[in-house]
Amino acid sequence: MRNFENMFSELLEIDDAMDKYEWIMDYGDKALSLSQHLCNESTLVRGCTSALYLNKVGDQFLSHSESAIVKGLSSMICDYYNQADEASRQYFDLNTLNSIGLAPLLSMGRQNGVANLIRRLKELT
């Protein structure tokens, strides 16, 4: 199992914020995404500016958002969570995201949404 920092070390090496966003959007494009028919009120994560959906499909957490950046970020979090052991999942929080230099990209408004995403992941576990 890789930790979050190792898993996304490539992102850590990117200095320019725009390039970081580009990388995140690319990641979201390639990631498995929650099917449209599962995007509904019951899978909606509250508190995000853009609509973000999360659900467990089989043993995998999958997400979807119409925002390319939110989709990329949530896919990264789901992918990490899917391969993390129970202890790592328990300690996973906003600070974990900061460890790969995402903090400057996450304003308070966005942090609320991501915090709700993490909370929902833990609820669904």
Partner 1 sequence: MKNFENNFPFFARNSKINYLDNAATTQVLYTVPRDRYEFEIEHRANAHRSGHRLGTWVDTQYHAAKQSIATWLNVLEDQIVFNSGTTQGLNDSAEFITNRHERTVTYVGSDSHHSLFLPFYRLSKNGDHVLKTINTTTEGLLDLDWLEQELTTVDKNTKIIIAATTVSNVLGKINNLERIRSMAYEHNAVTVIDASQIVGKRPVDITGFDFVAFSWHKIYGPMGLGCLIVGLDWLRSEPVRPGGGSITHVSFDQVDWQMGAGRFESGTQNLSAIVTIPKLTEWIRQNEQEIAEHDVALARYVVSHCPGDMFEPVSFSDTGLISLLPKIGRVEDYAYMLDAKNIMVRTGKLCAEPLVSKYGSGLIRLSWACYTNKRDIEQAFNTLMEIYEKLRKHVQ
Q: What does the binding site for partner 1 look like in residue numbers (CB under 8 A)?
A: 16-18, 20-22, 25-26, 28-29, 49-50, 66-70, 105, 107, 110
Q: What whole-number distance in Å separates Cα of residue 1 and Cα of residue 7?
A: 9
Please state the closest distance from residue 95 (CB atom) to partner 1, in A.
20
- Cβ nearer to partner 1, comparing 6 with 107: 107
Please state the closest distance from residue 47 (CB atom) to partner 1, in A.
13
Q: Which residues of 79-108 are buried (b: 16+ CB within 10 A; e: fewer)?
A: bbbeebeeebeeebeeebbeebbbeeebee
Q: How many CB atoms lie within 10 A of CB 6?
A: 10
Please state the closest distance from residue 51 (CB atom) to partner 1, in A.
8
